[in-house]
């Protein structure tokens, strides 16, 4: 599997070549198609990075930043509840202060939370990117069509 580019600038994954034909996979849809092998050019990116491009950017940010369910739960809670004081987040998370600070430093660096003031206290709120990612992730959750 190698990354390639078509004449229209689209990036795909080259799965195989046979008799002048190239079988490509669209990373956004997973669909495969066959094109003339002369119509593609090698791309300089890594194949797995191109494959990941099929996942919406906000979801990629959450997936790479949320290393466990607790971290994902923090983001979902902030999306659902809005800006929340640090004191409340700390008590709900069950983390020691050092681990809590490390977790929120990672989430800030990933662009998923920002610091804010809540009723005069220091707090955190989810960014638009985090909210969009949670919405996209929930769209495929069991029972999402029932709502």
Q: By C-alpha distance, which of 67, 13, 60 is closest to 40?
A: 13
E strand or H helix that includes residue 7 = none
More confident residue, 9 or 135: 135
pLDDT at 107 over 70: yes
Would you list the domain boundaries of the chain? 2-52, 57-146
CATH number of 2-52: 2.30.30
Average pLDDT over residues 33-59: 89
19: pLDDT strictly greater than 70: yes
pLDDT at position 14: 93
The domain made up of 57-146 has a fold known as Arc Repressor Mutant, subunit A (1.10.10)
Query: Given a cut of 90, is residue 125 above it in pLDDT?
Result: yes
What does the pLDDT read at residue 144?
61
Whether 140 shows a pLDDT value over 80: the answer reads: no
pTM over 0.85: no
Alpha carbons 17 and 72: distance in angstroms, whole number: 41
> Would you state the pLDDT for residue 89?
92
Q: Taking 90 as the threshold, does the pLDDT of residue 106 lie above it?
A: yes
């Amino acid at each position: 599997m190698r990354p390639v580019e078509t004449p229209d600038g689209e990036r795909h994954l080259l799965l195989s070549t046979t008799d002048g034909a190239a079988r490509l996979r669209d990373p956004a849809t997973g669909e495969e198609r066959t094109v003339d092998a002369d119509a593609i050019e090698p791309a300089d990116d890594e194949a797995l990075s191109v494959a990941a491009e099929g996942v919406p950017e906000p979801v990629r940010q959450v997936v790479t930043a949320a290393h466990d369910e607790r971290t994902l739960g923090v983001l979902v809670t902030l999306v659902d509840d809005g800006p929340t004081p640090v004191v409340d987040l700390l008590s709900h998370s069950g983390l020691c202060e050092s681990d809590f600070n490390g977790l929120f430093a990672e989430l800030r660096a990933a662009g998923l939370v920002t610091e804010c003031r809540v009723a005069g206290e220091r707090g955190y709120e989810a960014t638009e990117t985090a909210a969009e990612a949670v919405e996209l992730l929930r769209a495929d959750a069991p029972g999402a069509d029932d709502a």
